[in-house]
Chain A
Amino acid sequence: MSGAATTPALAIADAVRRRERRAVEVVEEHLAAIAEVDGGLGCFLEVTADQARRRAAEVDAAVDAGRDPGPLAGVPVAVKDNLCTQGVPTTCASRILQGWHPPYDATVVTRLAGAGAVVVGKTNLDEFAMGSSTESSAFGPTRNPHDPERVPGGSSGGSAAAVAAGLAPLALGSDTGGSIRQPAALCGVVGMKPTYGTVSRYGLVAFASSLDQVGPFARSVADAAALYDAIAGHDPCDSTSLHQVPPACGPAVGSGVGGLRVGLVTELTEAEGVQADVRRRVAEAAEALASAGATVDPVSIPELRVALPAYYLLAPAEASSNLARYDGVRYGLRVDGDDVADMNARTREAGFGAEVKRRILLGTYALSAGYYDAYYGQAQRVRTLIIQAFRRAYEDFDVLLSATTPSTAFRLGEKVDDPLAMYLSDVCTIPTNLAGHPAMSVPFGTDGAGLPVGVQVLAPALGEAVMVAAAAVLEQAAPPTSLPTVAAPTLTGAGTGRGAATGGAR
């Protein structure tokens, strides 16, 4: 366990700040791991090797000059390819944006730089973050490092798999209905969706604006907390950014759960389709919290049953409007036509994949005259009911516990032609998006087949600190998890990842 790929992000930063390690070496090791393994996994759409090397040299120079480059000094970070990076292609895994070079950085990318982190590349995702398997990427799927025949989850599958495989200690994703937590669970890493408004959305290519939130992936709760602390905070460029100082999560790691009231959410654990193995792990997690001093009681929140259908009206509706701008006029793909409307329609036909088209159609329908009240308007009311129901639950509990996903990683292609089955894999994660609350997934053992299981800790708005404290306790108590079969050599022991990687050629 000596390589960079197994070292926690905070340990890397610590070593770089003390001049015990050089950021350039750390980056080279990770670039080498990416070069060796990613051909088989498909985590990255773009590896920004030259910029990463330059940036790492700047970090080292700052240390040499006696300056502190920041809490993430020299830590490689993988960035989901729906976050804008100036001059670096940002595709959202869509043909319609292929070749687009944003003229600006997302606020979170600027904050990463401010914290001394080094962006090593842009990761694969379901096209425009619409999906739960990363299979709807126009540039091919990402494979699960634990089993390359299985999906990494989605939509932030590239980021989750990159962290799991040791290609970056940290990654950024975005979570609209579970797109951080679900792939974190399927890949056996920590993933956190922060309170809506604590992390800026400026520069995050919008899917569903009132639900989207950027958040961290890491291999430990402490690292995830550190990344959250680095990216959270008010941004005047985002009107929905909260003005409150976000809770500091780093210090909460290790503060324990003594006296904490934990509610085990029946609807998100006993729900139809939740795998027995997963259910068992959630029960064990509840016991672990109890033996660490928390009181755990079941809680029923029946309103959560309608969260999924409400989400599948709200998110596509907002998406249908957010994705109208891809019309072939100003940037990205254009397919010529007789007149401008014809050009628009041909461009969008050629540029969007099936899942994006389905959601645009669904959203257009939900907003159209005559259906607005029954669909979009009604879904917004359901949102109110869910917020109220959570509020009642949090009168009795400090945090809630549930499964992150109904099942462990499924096989590539298994749900591609059954949108509803795919949508159901977000059933446990969606309610918090509707409420705007934080939630995180922590690895907690495996299923019978050795695939990672994630448990989800939910907290009220701005409850990140207590959520992180509970997650850290679960992390300590978690049953051992098997190592990924495809991973950076230093993560699995020299070379063992190599053979498996060949199975994942795209």
Chain B
Amino acid sequence: MARLARIALTEDELDRYAPQLASVLEHAAQVAALDTAGAAPTAHPFPLRNVLRPDEPRPSLDPQVVLAEAPAAEEGRFRVPRILGEAP
């Protein structure tokens, strides 16, 4: 989970969180055990549909403002350490 969530947890943290999460999951098991046959999943509280925006350009940000927040930038782009592996 820590790898999927991309957090470099320490051993100490792993030891601490494991039982805490287990107790929460045990509580959550009430949900897993319920009979919900016939109830469709709700992703949104209200059934909105087709919320659309006209295809009209709006001003973009000033690139200097954008890059001012970057931990590292170079040649107008965000600089990151080397990338191992391709995007999935």
Do they bind each other?
A: yes
Mark A residues whose CB is within 8 Å of B.
100-101, 103, 196-197, 210, 236, 239-240, 242, 306, 308-310, 312-313, 320, 324, 327-334, 336-346, 348-349, 352, 354, 357-358, 360-362, 364-366, 368, 374-375, 377-385, 387-388, 419-420, 423, 434-437, 461
Given known contacts A240-B48, A329-B71, A382-B34, A361 and B41 CB-to-CB distance under 8 angstroms: no
By beta carbon, the residue of chain B nearest A420 is B23
CA distance A103 to B8 in the complex (A): 30
Q: Which residue of A lies closest to B82 (CB)?
A: A339
Interface of A is mostly: helix
Question: What is the minimal beta-carbon distance from A9 to any residue of chain B, in angstroms?
Answer: 29
Known: A239-B51, A365-B1. A312 touches B44 (CB 8 A): no
Give chain A nearest CB distance to B67 CB in angstroms.
Answer: 9
Cβ distance A115 to chain B, nearest Cβ, rounded Å: 24
Contact assessment for B5 and A330 in the assembled complex, using a CB-CB cutoff below 8 Å: no
Contacts of B46 in A (CB 8 A): 196-197, 240, 242, 436, 461
Would you call B42 and A380 a contact (CB within 8 A)?
Answer: yes
Chain B proximity of A307: nearest CB distance (Å): 10
B interface residue numbers (CB < 8 A to A): 1-2, 4-10, 13, 16-17, 20-21, 23-25, 27-32, 34, 36, 39-46, 48, 51, 53, 61, 65-66, 68-72, 78, 80-84
Task: Point out the residues of chain B lying under 8 angstroms from A336, CB to CB.
Answer: 81
Let me know if B31 and A375 touch, CB within 8 A. yes
* Residues A381 and B72 in contact, CB atoms below 8 Å apart: no
Further contacts, 19 of them, CB under 8 A, given A365-B21, A383-B42: A103-B65, A103-B66, A239-B51, A309-B27, A309-B28, A309-B29, A331-B69, A334-B71, A336-B81, A337-B81, A354-B17, A361-B17, A364-B4, A379-B28, A382-B31, A384-B39, A388-B39, A420-B20, A434-B45
Known: A310-B31, A436-B45. A368 touches B84 (CB 8 A): no
Contact A362 B25, beta carbon cutoff 8 Å: yes
Asked whether, in the complex, the Cβ of B7 is within 8 Å of the Cβ of A357, the reply is: yes
5 contacts between A and B (CB under 8 A): A103-B65, A308-B27, A379-B28, A381-B36, A384-B36
Whether B81 lies near A339 (C-beta < 8 A) is yes
Q: Is there contact, CB below 8 Å, between B45 and A435?
A: yes
Residue of B nearest to A242 (CB): B46
Residue among A306, A308, A309, A387 with max Cβ neighbours from chain B (10 Å): A309
Q: Are B6 and A345 in contact (CB under 8 A)?
A: yes
Q: How far is the CB of B33 from chain A (nearest CB, A)?
A: 9
Is there an interface contact between A384 and B81, defined as CB atoms closer than 8 Å?
no
User: Could you say which residues of chain A place their CB within 8 Å of the CB of B31?
Assistant: 306, 309-310, 313, 375, 378-379, 382
- Supposing A242-B48, A362-B21, A384-B39 touch, asked if A348 and B34 sit within 8 A by C-beta, the answer is no
A387 lies within 8 A of B41 (CB): no
Cross-chain contact of A377 among B5, B41, B53 (Cβ < 8 A) = B41
Q: Give Cα A380–Cα B41 distance, bound, in whole angstroms.
A: 5
Given A100-B69, A331-B70, A345-B6, does the pair A378, B81 have CB atoms closer than 8 Å?
no
Please indicate the chain A residues that have their CB under 8 angstroms from the CB of B2 in the complex. 361
Report chain A residues within 8 Å CB of B6.
Answer: 324, 327, 341, 344-345, 348
- CB-nearest residue of chain A relative to B29? A309
**Looking across the interface, which residue of chain A has its beta carbon closest to that of B13?**
A357
Tell me which of B7, B36, B41 contacts A352 (CB under 8 A): B7
A377 vs B48: C-alpha distance in the bound complex, in angstroms? 20
Asked whether A330 lies within 8 Å of B1 as measured between CB atoms, the reply is no
The residue in chain B whose Cβ has the minimal distance to the Cβ of A327 is B6
In the assembled complex, the Cα of A83 lies from the Cα of B61 at a distance in Å of 19
Cα(A357)–Cα(B18), bound, Å = 12
In the docked arrangement, what's the CA distance between A344 and B83, Å?
Answer: 11
Q: A210–B69 contact, CB under 8 A?
A: no
Residues of B within 8 A of A358 (CB): 17, 20-21, 24
The 7 nearest A-B residue pairs measured at CB: A436-B45, A380-B41, A334-B71, A381-B36, A345-B8, A331-B69, A349-B8
Select which of A332, A338, A419 is within 8 A of B81 by beta carbon.
A338
